Structure 1
Amino acid sequence: MSGLRTYFRRLPLSLALCAAPICAQAETMPPSDPLRTFATCAGRLSAQMEFEWMFDGAASEVTQDRRGEVLDILDAMTPPTQVRDVLNWRIEAKMAHSSLLQRTTFSDDSRIQMQARRLSVQKLKSCTALLLG
């Protein structure tokens, strides 16, 4: 019985260590599903725009324009059968990015703030790189 306890105690750590390289690799891989990629970017840009409304009004206008471009592309490529999936992906990405942005401002740990800021900028750059100009 103690062998099982040891196994289950170490399982989360093992999974976390195994998942880290996979996540790092996923960030560098080209998008395999452009529809999901644009839906995710629309969600991230929505979260960024709302965050900027509170803290940086002028930047929100640029973000709003970029978000509009992504939404135009997304609308053009979304088949009627996947509208619900696209909305779900957008909401998931918006919530995740919003959580990340909250950590950039409200975390008590400066290291966490810096990492969250770096990650949010990286994710937004990957989205805006998809746009022309």
Structure 2
Amino acid sequence: MLLPLSGPAHAAQDITKTIAGCTGRFSAEMEHSWLISDDRAEAFQGERQTFVHLLDAAMQTDHRAILGHRIDVKHAHASLLTVASFSHDTSRARAARLLADGYLDSCRSLILGG
């Protein structure tokens, strides 16, 4: 019988998923910036690389599930960016950008000096 993760093992999996999600978000921002010729692409690339390094250090097991989570979050964030940049509904576009920015701020808060 398998028992659910608890204590330190569960916390390690949670932080690994969080870092994977942030890696996906910054990947989406970087690629979107390239698409729209945004000057912030290089900065997003640097932030993404920081999270790639953290993810490499944090990953212990279940690499497939963590990579899947990273990809799912990247696609979800890319959808927000598409709405933010290309929606004709300005209030919807603004809400999508604010939500995306909030997610990035949460990720940045994980990094000392972020």
The TM-score with structure 1 as length reference comes to 0.72
- Report the counterpart of residue 132 of structure 1 in structure 2: 112
Q: Which of 46, 51, 55 is matched with 1:65 structurally?
A: 46
Q: Which of 19, 34, 46 is matched with 2:15 structurally?
A: 34
Matched residues in 2 for 1:108 and 1:116: separation? 12
1:106-121 correspondence runs (5 A): 106-121=86-101
The TM-score with structure 2 as length reference comes to 0.84
Contact 1:39 1:89 in 2 (8 A): yes
Gaps of 5+ in 2: 1-12
SS of structure 2 residue aligned to 1:33: helix
**53-62 or 63-72, larger mean C-alpha shift:** 53-62
CA shift, 1:50, in A, is 0.2
Q: Which of 54, 62, 79 is matched with 1:99 structurally?
A: 79
Relative to total residues, which structure has the larger helix share, 1 or 2?
A: 1
SS of structure 2 residue aligned to 1:94: helix
Q: How many residues align?
A: 101
- Report the counterpart of residue 28 of structure 2 in structure 1: 47
Gaps of 5+ in 1: 1-31
Contact 1:70 1:131 in 2 (8 A): no
CA shift, 1:56, in A, is 3.8
- Report the counterpart of residue 9 of structure 1 in structure 2: none
Identity fraction in percent? 40
Matched residues in 1 for 2:39 and 2:79: separation? 22
Residue 70 of structure 2 aligns with an amino acid whose one-letter code is R
- Report the counterpart of residue 70 of structure 2 in structure 1: 90
